[in-house]
Structure 1
Amino acid sequence: MTGRIGWAGLPAQVRAGIEGILGDAVVAAASQPGGFSPGSADRVRLASGRTAFVKAVSADVNTTSAALHRREAGIAAALPDGLPVPAFLGSYDDGTWVALAFTDVDGRHPAEPWVDAELQHVLDTLDRMGRVSLQGSPALPRCEDSLRGAFQGWEKLRKRPLDGLDPWASDSLDTLAGLAQRGLAAVAGTSLVHGDLRTDNILLTGDGAVLVDWPWACTGAPWVDALGVLVNVTSLDPAANPELPLVHHPVFAGVPAGDVDGVLAGYAGYFMDMSRRPEPPGIPALRAFQRKQAEALIAWLRQRLPHTDALTGT
């Protein structure tokens, strides 16, 4: 999704710091595509034959990306055992460059557009992850706190209208803003939530799905990540039917339809509001991606709301 620098493009002191973490010299590196970080993302082979995954970014290119790497380092070091995540090997931070090292995962990203079997595979993994106890683990932010500002997107659009907004959404601003507030309450819970699941943050292996890139981790409802995956499904393929997993997969069992509508509305307003902002440094494709996400969510909500009194929960 964005251009990447490779291992060879990292400053010598950063490469040396990473090799110190890995305890061996890197003899080969293969840059990995996908994602929005303007930094590196490499599968590396060491002199001993071992492999690892390394990513690094400079605050001089994008301060937010460096801050996210620092946040992820703290989260990755604290995640409990038994989760579908790569093991964290350590981090390098010289104040400008931040690098993280993980065990290498022998897997591949889901197909784009999604295929049913792989979607089922990922939803099964998320259903199991939602049952992992976080008792005794370091505190993570609560999803409702992390998303409080993001889910005010429709209120911002109401105060500062956007040219070209879908007419249905423009006529439904009050309803969508109210739904988003319901969505904020709906995401509350005690399960581990990744918070940013798309194909590029998921690896499929012979043993199940592995989830990578954890800077947005929080505690919330056990179905939040699964709904995020369905958002990715419909944004990649407008002809997809994300309603089928909502009805049939156990990860969504017992979730009120109005709660689903509320979270969808919250994310739609966030993506639409963000899409009109200037491109962040080093990430030229982000705003177009956010606009595409917003438009897919609005189309999905238009289908759902005539059949759901989402504000009353029926």
Structure 2
Amino acid sequence: MATIRVPYEHLPPAARAAIEATTGPVLSTESPDEGFNSAVAAKLHTATGTYFAKALPVDHRWVWTQQREADIAHYVRSVAPALIGHTVTSGWNILIFEALPGRRADYQPGSADLPNVADLIRRIGDLPTPQIELRDATQRLAAYVTCEDDLRHFAGDTLLHTDWNHSNVIIGDDIRIVDWAWATRGAPWLDAAYWTIWLIAAGHTPESAEHNAATIPAWQSASIAGLNAFAAANARLWTENGGACPDQWTTHITAAAQDWYEFRMRQATEA
């Protein structure tokens, strides 16, 4: 479920003072209309520049993601915004990033952004995997496979972002990706596979989505069995995430995951 969004102005005065000790006085704010993993997510305009703040209450079940982003920021500087500050005060865990100029990536069929996103996935896969605490792909997907042996397909030591929502990918002078909360280690082809689901959600057929994913060299290391197992696991994962009353956003991505799974099952039957 999404986290309830809190306006920046509703943070305790001491928390805002801690942020503005780094950014300078905040003149105006903007909150994104997508991405609700953070209680506070706001672009902060100041006299000296623009920043992006993310915050969660210290007792929130996902507060560990704040520390994960702080820990990994140094290692992903070439593909992500710079971390300016991290503080815990007044019951809030707060991250301050540089605000990336640019726009969200366009994943629609025919978009000129698609080759650049594919190259970004390749670049991330080429980064050294930092020796910090990371989620493991086999652990993350263990609850969604019907055969424990399928987990071997997801094992590996490649650094993965895993959340390829188009709103996380910023196109400016360069292309970079935000929100490293769910950084994971696993098989090198998994980020391309995660992207496939978001491409289908953006209007691609499963065939078109896989065609784009196949431009990423790591995709070639995936076995048919591995792709089938991953598609099946994600169809189950998104169905569970949606629960009995999914919101519109979750319904959309759940349908995309299900479409890909059904496509792969048809391919297996026809082979």
* TM-score, scaled to structure 1: 0.75
Residue identity matched to 1:99: I
- Determine if the alignment matches structure 1 residue 300 to structure 2 residue 266: no
* TM-score, scaled to structure 2: 0.85
The equivalent residue for 1:17 is 18
The equivalent residue for 2:46 is 46
**RMSD of Structure 2 on Structure 1 (CA):** 2.9
Which one of 196, 214, 228 corresponds to residue 163 of structure 2? 196
> What is the Cα deviation at residue 27 of structure 1?
2.3
What are the ranges of 5 or more consecutive residues in structure 1 without an aligned counterpart?
A: 153-176, 280-284
- Cα distance in 1, alignment partners of residues 97 and 66 from structure 2: 13
Secondary structure in structure 2 of the residue aligned to 1:147: helix
Cα–Cα, structure 1 residues 72 and 197, in superposed 2: closer, same or farther, change >3 Å? same
Residue identity matched to 1:30: E
The equivalent residue for 1:125 is 120
> What is the Cα deviation at residue 6 of structure 1?
3.0
What are the ranges of 5 or more consecutive residues in structure 2 without an aligned counterpart?
A: none
The higher relative CO (CA closer than 8 Å, separation ≥ 6) is in 1
The equivalent residue for 1:265 is 232
Secondary structure in structure 2 of the residue aligned to 1:37: coil
Secondary structure in structure 1 of the residue aligned to 2:232: helix
> What is the Cα deviation at residue 277 of structure 1?
5.5
Secondary structure in structure 2 of the residue aligned to 1:232: helix
Could you tell me the percent identity over the aligned residues?
25
- Cα distance in 1, alignment partners of residues 132 and 66 from structure 2: 18
Which one of 94, 98, 103 corresponds to residue 93 of structure 2? 98
Cα–Cα, structure 1 residues 12 and 102, in superposed 2: closer, same or farther, change >3 Å? same
Residue identity matched to 2:112: A
Matched length: 269
- Cα distance in 2, alignment partners of residues 132 and 75 from structure 1: 12
- Determine if the alignment matches structure 1 residue 233 to structure 2 residue 232: no
> What is the Cα deviation at residue 35 of structure 1?
0.3
The equivalent residue for 1:290 is 250
Correspondence list, 1:99-248, <5 A:
99-111=94-106, 113=108, 115-134=110-129, 137-149=131-143, 151-152=144-145, 177-178=146-147, 181-182=149-150, 184-207=151-174, 209-237=175-203, 239=205, 241-248=208-215
- Cα distance in 2, alignment partners of residues 51 and 213 from structure 1: 17
> What is the Cα deviation at residue 185 of structure 1?
1.9
Secondary structure in structure 1 of the residue aligned to 2:72: helix
Bigger radius of gyration among the two: 1
> What is the Cα deviation at residue 81 of structure 1?
5.3
